[in-house]
Chains A and B, each alone.
Chain A
Amino acid sequence: MSKSIHHGDPLARLSGVRLAKAGHSVLDGVTLDVFAGELLAVVGPNGAGKSSALKCLGGIETDWQGHIELAGSALEGFASAERARQIAYLPQIFAPHWELSVADLLEIGLQRGRPTLGWRPWAGPRQTTAELLAQRTRLLDDLELSGFLERRFASLSGGERARALLAQALVTQPNLLLADEPIASLDPAHQLRTMQYLRRCRDRTASVVVLHDLNLALRFADRIAVMAHGRVVACGTTAHIVASDILAHVFDVRFEAHTTCWGEALLAS
């Protein structure tokens, strides 16, 4: 934590990461760099290993082989609390088991990276309550959640839920957010707003976002990683990815490029 991270510094690096589940290879040598200050979109057909790659980096899958670095050091060397402070993960499906309010979610989010059995109360910096409150207020304003604190999560609309979950993951200001299809169930307006928010806060928290909507990836991401068959088959700037025919190859469908007000858009044909 002591080392400050600058824009463009390598934040996380996966090289040759393999993962097998029940004897079945899920990741077959994933190599991918994530830099500070970027929004990296991960696209690819179903079953390409996008979620699994995120889970390896987020400390959820632990049986992988290969090499993962976080801020220049091997991931295995990090205490789980330390790793948790740096990397937040937003699952594809999120359903709390209890009837939590938005305020509850945020307060639980504040426990991120704190030793949970209290054995080492001195481990890790603790922010003061005032700092946390100020930070929370800013986050709530940014995500338009100020009026929702006492609402139950289950009673929120899809868009409100997505924002509450983002707030939950970002409340401790991690360096990296791993979001697994965060906008899959949102209407177009909310999809845009969520992506805009992730892009806006990427200086503080870089994001790796799994997306199925190629055009949102092209529009909001700094770089795109294309995955297929448990590997990253291409990774580069959006322009680079559009110029190559890798997407047509991977998705096995032809794309037409159309110029729009924000840039090049792709239409499957």
Chain B
Amino acid sequence: MTRHFGIAPAGIALLFAAAVLSMGIAMMLGAELLGPDRLLPLLWPASADHPLDRLLIDWRLPRVLTAFLVGGLLGVSGAIFQGIFRNPLADPFLIGTAPGAALGATLALLAPALAPFQWIAPLQLLPMLAFLGAFGATLAVLLLARLARVRDTAGLLLAGVAMAAFLGALRSYLMLALADETISLQVVLSWTLGGIQIPFWRELGLIAVVALLLLALAYRLADGLDMLGLGDDVARNMGLHVERFVLWATLLASAMVALAVTWGGTIGFVGLVVPHLVRWPLGPRHGPLLLISALVGGSLLTLLDGLARSLLPPAEIPLGLLTALIGAPFFMLLLARHSRR
């Protein structure tokens, strides 16, 4: 067989090239647009003495790489959630994950001096609480669904919707209760609207390792997701432990969303649109879908983040606004295509 992951090697090579190209383009975008002639010398670090070069390497490059990872995580988690719920409209933010992260971040921003947080370095408080919020919310949904003896995925989805509403309300209440003149709600709001954070190189290395590990684990879900698509009964008969598989897949996808939200805030539509974009030419098999969703999601978000930095200089457009502005109409187009068939 000459096909790997269900697609031709040339196709994969092309997509990798496109991913690198998107990062190259994103490096040129920003408040100040740079030509390729300014970027190429950066490949030889010896020449990187110029302050602008240090700026590019310490600020813009980590941001571009982070955007790529966040986009890839969102794309893949979208494909997983759509596979679990067997619903092309499922979204990574459906089952309370994003509201949970938002709640964690709000707490970190509004009450950094609370006693339980004293031992955490202030800079690490937000990512840590966002991650705990996202993961904890999903876990809570799964536990509650289990307690209520909800066994089907539709019930799980509804439990998630309830959890999202509850956490959203809780967060609004905290914003009203905790905000005072020393803390600007603007900060909380801008985080909620989404925007790629800039990690230190050391942090970026850690994010990359965790992200790649999660993506590798996610790839192993492909066969099970394919079976689930044939219906619960057939999947069970084929040897899949449906409940156990759904639980594991949900936890994995939530960890991916949690990591993405921690470093990108709440960025909608990427997880929803990217799998559709991939399924359209490649078909619905989850092997290629998961792999290509990572590359396409990463490239897409990298470019959008570049645009967010350069459209209104010196201000930045919140990335979540941009993805919604572009993603929503695009999604309508996809829907129209789909229903015409």
A residues within 8 Å of B by Cβ? 55, 58-60, 80-81, 83-85, 87-89, 91, 94-101, 104, 107-108, 111-118, 129
B241 within 8 A of A: yes
B residues within 8 Å of A by Cβ? 1, 86, 220-221, 223-224, 226-234, 236-241, 245, 248, 279, 283-285
Cβ of B8 to closest chain A Cβ, rounded Å: 15
Contact check, B237 vs A87: say whether CB atoms are below 8 A apart.
yes
Closest A residue to B226 by beta carbon equals A108
Q: A95-B231, A104-B283 are in contact. Are A59 and B223 (CB under 8 A)?
A: no
Contact check, A97 vs B237: say whether CB atoms are below 8 A apart.
no
Contact check, A117 vs B224: say whether CB atoms are below 8 A apart.
yes
Q: List 16 A-B contacts (CB under 8 A).
A: A58-B233, A58-B236, A60-B232, A80-B240, A80-B241, A84-B238, A87-B237, A96-B231, A97-B229, A100-B283, A108-B230, A111-B223, A111-B226, A113-B239, A114-B223, A116-B224
A97 to B231, CA, bound (A): 7
Contact check, A99 vs B284: say whether CB atoms are below 8 A apart.
yes
Contact check, B227 vs A111: say whether CB atoms are below 8 A apart.
yes
10 further interface pairs, Cβ-Cβ under 8 Å (given A111-B227, A116-B224)? A59-B236, A59-B237, A59-B239, A85-B239, A89-B237, A91-B231, A97-B229, A108-B230, A114-B239, A117-B224
A83 to B234, CA, bound (A): 13
Q: A101-B283, A117-B245 are in contact. Are A111 and B233 (CB under 8 A)?
A: no
Q: A84-B239, A117-B220 are in contact. Are A89 and B233 (CB under 8 A)?
A: yes
Cβ of A172 to closest chain B Cβ, rounded Å: 9
Contact check, B285 vs A107: say whether CB atoms are below 8 A apart.
yes
Q: List the B side residues contacting A55 at CB < 8 Å.
A: 233
Contact check, B234 vs A117: say whether CB atoms are below 8 A apart.
no
Closest B residue to A101 by beta carbon equals B283
A59 to B236, CA, bound (A): 7
Contact check, A104 vs B285: say whether CB atoms are below 8 A apart.
yes
Contact check, B239 vs A112: say whether CB atoms are below 8 A apart.
yes
Cβ of B283 to closest chain A Cβ, rounded Å: 7
Cβ of B88 to closest chain A Cβ, rounded Å: 8
Q: B239's contact among A80, A94, A107, by CB below 8 Å, is which?
A: A80
Q: B238's contact among A99, A112, A129, by CB below 8 Å, is which?
A: A112
Contact check, B233 vs A91: say whether CB atoms are below 8 A apart.
yes
Contact check, A104 vs B239: say whether CB atoms are below 8 A apart.
no
Closest B residue to A104 by beta carbon equals B285
Cβ of B300 to closest chain A Cβ, rounded Å: 22
